[in-house]
Structure 1
Amino acid sequence: MISLKDIKDWLKQFDIAEHYYMGKLDNKQDKSVGVYQRRTSDQPRMCIGEKSSYDIKPVSILLHWSNDADETEEKAMALWNVLRSQTNVTINNVHIPYIKLLNSEPIDVGTDEKGVYERVIEIDFYYSKGV
């Protein structure tokens, strides 16, 4: 299994943001990346007769960036492109054979109450369960 903390720590290697969070951006520092569990409407996958060899971790990555919409979009696209180019990924000793970006670019979710622009990357991590 991979956790949100594992994904947050893995994202740090790309040196995109100054701050990284999971679950909640408490003090909403600018130039931050937050990792959240994404709700899905998918039914649980059940294999008949054999154990499944993989599972899926649905995640939303929030870029809480700056008061500059263009800068925020550029940084979000930079992260999106990094994620898109990943191959042969291992996160916390778990093999990730496939990363699925669910949108053709980061989603503009507007600004927070302080006027800081935010973008969201919706992503599925397919991971080997080691069976």
Structure 2
Amino acid sequence: MLGLADIRDWLKTLNNKADNYYIGKLDNKNDKSIGVYQGKNTISPRITLGGRENSSYEVKAITILIHWNLNARETEEFSYKLYQELLKQNSVVINNHRIKMIKLITNEPIDIGTDEKNVYERVIDLEFYYERNER
């Protein structure tokens, strides 16, 4: 299984660095944070002809929340750089799963406005297509 914590830890290895990385709730909502959440789009189980044991890959839908700072431009720029870095990924292995493809769902990070402290936020929705290790 490819988990949220696995993806969070992988994001830490990329060039665009945040100060904080989370799964689930953003503790204290610190600036310059990235949160990794289960994606909202529903994907049915992948079962091939012949049964589950013949399925070679799974799909993990993810939403990345970029909770950045009080500057809309800086938030947009960081989010775009992260998006571009995700686009360029190849030969990725996360938690012993070879990632066949990272599919970005939108053509850019989506502006979702500000939180209650006026910190600008954006989201990147994506899907990880990864090889199953368990059969």
Same fold, TM exceeding 0.5? yes
- One of 96, 121, 125 as aligned partner of 1:93: 96
Write out aligned runs for 1:1-131 (5 A).
Answer: 1-14=1-14, 15-50=16-51, 51-130=54-133, 131=135
TM-score scaled by structure 2? 0.93
CA positional deviation for 1:42 = 3.2
* Paired residue secondary structure (2:13): helix
- Cα distance change, pair 45–92 in 1 and its aligned pair in 2 (3 A): closer
Secondary structure of the equivalent of 2:11?
Answer: helix
Q: CA RMSD in A?
A: 1.1
- Per the TM alignment, residue 93 of structure 1 is displaced from its structure 2 partner at its CA by 1.2
- Give unmatched runs, 5+ long, in structure 2: none
* Cα separation, 2, equivalents of 1:42 and 1:97: 17
Q: TM-score, normalised by structure 1?
A: 0.95
What is the deviation of 1:45? 2.8
Q: Indicate if the aligned counterparts of 1:16 and 1:75 stay in contact, CA closer than 8 A.
A: no
State percent identity of aligned pairs: 53
